Amino acid sequence: AVSRALMCIITSFGIIYLTKYWGQYGLFVVMVPLLIICMFGLNHFQKLEKETG
């Protein structure tokens, strides 16, 4: 739980600086890796669902 709290704080303050210097493209630095990770997770669970029938 402590690691999640720290990551939340780091990400929230990091987004402020990213958007300050790079504008909307700073959000892409955070959002694109999250999107990729979510897609891998979704594909993994869809594969598991197909295997079980």
Identify the band that residue 11 occupies on the pLDDT scale cut at 50, 70 and 90.
confident
When pLDDT is averaged across residues 10-23 and rounded to a whole number, the result is 87
Cβ-based neighbours of 18, under 8 Å, separated by 6 or more? 26, 27, 29, 30
Residue 42 scores a pLDDT above 90: yes
Residue 51 scores a pLDDT above 90: yes
Residue 29 scores a pLDDT above 90: no
